[in-house]
Amino acid sequence: MSSKGGIVTFEGHRNFRLRLIISTLAGKPIKINKIRSNDVNPGLKDHEVSFLRLLESVTNGSHIEISYTGTTIIFRPGIIIGGEITHNCPNTKTVGYFIEPMLYLAPFSKNKFSIIFKGITTSERSKDATPESIKWGLIPLMEKFGVREVSLYILKRGSAPIGGGEVHLLCNSLIPQPLTIHALDVPKFSAIRGVSYSTRVSPSMVNRMIDGARNVLRPTGVEVNITADVWRGENSGKSPGFGICLVAESKKGWRIVAEGVGAAGGLPEDIGETVAYQLLEEISRSGIVGMSQLQLVLIYMTIGKEDVGRFKIANSQIDEEFIWLLRDIKELFGTEVFIKEEDENYSLLSVKGIGFTSVSKKIA
């Protein structure tokens, strides 16, 4: 994590996608070395190479150099152009792994993004976003920053290990930069919604998951509304699977998400119950948004107008990952976040935007 001779250098495979994304947004080349250099299988993994290819196809003029052993890459970003693309994702990661970083680029592109991702939509082994959590957790958050008209359609579901799913990401709004945000109040959640989905298993599974989750959520006293979404036939992919995604919603549109996917041989009641408890835990340790959404908030705040945005977080959200993220942002954008501890539970983040302008506005 040092900059020598104009190129910013990172070490290791941590935050791989994030670093490439902020490099693209900042328009600065980066070098990542020592990627799994101590591992039995050193170097980039399949999904990381696939992600690099995706990044290459949504940009124009990107230049990627990968060392012979795959442990070092140099990435020189081009401009974000978007377009209509189909991306085949490897079966080691879910499509969410590839969709999530696209949300950072899509609104600031030259052309609209319309990408079809083919691969696994859900997997119990992958800790990546499912299409549900992107739809319920990240896209509403983008609206807060002025990015409207982003939609995600699940055309086909595909559970691990074989997959066969298809998801369509469409971003129709191109904006010069995200709005400056001032979120000072910790919201109260008035409803809990969710989707319980299954592919190629008995339809009773989704209801059993819902029952498990409901039992845990009932004492909260808020309205609980979980939709059953059973997929059959051609569009349900090639493998059996089931999962649930729960969302706590406030009246102002802030959301906190928890999700889980059933493992082979696991009971649907258990997964419903676990995810419900995880949602409660996430609410109890979060400020305005959950841990998984914080990264989007910080990046969008950083690339905003040259104005100070404010955002309230819980003190428990300041963890190791959070610091890694802040350091990576500083490395490329040069901005520092100021944290003001307000009381024992909450802190206020102040971030000054860098005055970023999207390529669509620069050229036109």
Partner 1 sequence: LKGSAIRKWDINKLLYLNNIDPSDVIKRWRGENEDDEEEEDIEDEEEENFFTKKNSNDASADLDTFQPTYPSIEILKQKFSSETVEEENSDEEYENGYKSLKSRFLVAPKLNSNEDGDEND
Residues lying near partner 1 in the complex (CB under 8 A) are found at 1-2, 12-18, 36, 38-39, 96-97, 100, 127-129, 133, 186, 188-190, 216, 218-222, 250-251, 259, 273-274, 277-278, 280-284, 290-292, 318-321, 323-324, 326-327, 330, 336-339, 341
Q: How far is the CB of 278 from partner 1 (least distance, A)?
A: 5
Beta-ladder partners of 116 = 86, 168
Q: Among residues 222, 201, 166, 223, which one has the least CA distance to residue 271?
A: 201
With respect to partner 1, which residue has the nearer C-beta, 201 or 256? 256
Tell me whether residue 39 or residue 307 sits nearer to partner 1 (CB atom).
39
Q: Which residue, 155 or 323, has its beta carbon nearer to partner 1? A: 323
- Residue 242 · residue 262 · CB < 8 Å: yes
Least CB distance to partner 1 at residue 295 (A): 9
Distance in angstroms (rounded) separating the CA atoms of residues 298 and 293: 9
Minimum Å distance from CB 324 to partner 1?
6
Query: With contact defined as beta carbons under 8 Å apart, do 70 and 62 qualify?
Result: no
Rounded to the nearest angstrom, the gap between the alpha carbon of residue 111 and the centroid of all alpha carbons in its chain is 21
| Owner of token pair 């989707």 | 195
- Give the CA distances from residue 86 to residues 48, 106, 110, 254, 298, in Å, rounded to whole numbers and listed in that order: 17, 15, 18, 31, 29
Residue 312: half-sphere exposure toward Cβ, Cα within 13 Å:
15
Measured from the CB atom, the residue of 7 and 175 that comes closer to partner 1 is 7
Query: What distance in Å separates the CA atoms of residue 327 and residue 302, rounded to the nearest whole number?
Result: 12
Q: Which is nearer to partner 1, 79 or 331 (CB)?
A: 331
Q: Minimum distance between the CB of residue 44 and partner 1, rounded to whole angstroms? A: 12
* Least CB distance to partner 1 at residue 234 (A): 28
- What distance in Å separates the CA atoms of residue 261 and residue 209, rounded to the nearest whole number? 10
Q: State the burial class of residue 277 (Cβ atoms within 10 Å of its Cβ: 0-12, 13-18, 19+).
A: middle
Q: How far is the CB of 149 from partner 1 (least distance, A)?
A: 23
CA 140 from centroid of its chain's CA atoms: 12
Give kind and range of the element (H or E) at residue 112. Answer: none
CB of 105 to partner 1, least distance (A): 16
Q: What is the DSSP letter of 180?
A: P
Nearer to partner 1, 125 or 361 (CB): 125
Instruction: Compute the C-alpha angle 294/328/325, nearest 5°.
Output: 25
Between 16 and 231, whose beta carbon lies closer to partner 1?
16
C-beta closer to partner 1: residue 70 or 176 = 70
User: Whole-angstrom Cα distance, residue 110 to residue 107?
Assistant: 9
Smaller CB distance to partner 1: residue 184 or 323? 323
CA-to-CA distance for 16 and 13, rounded, in angstroms? 5
Provide Rg for the chain, Cα atoms: 20
Instruction: Provide the 8-state DSSP code for 13.
Output: S
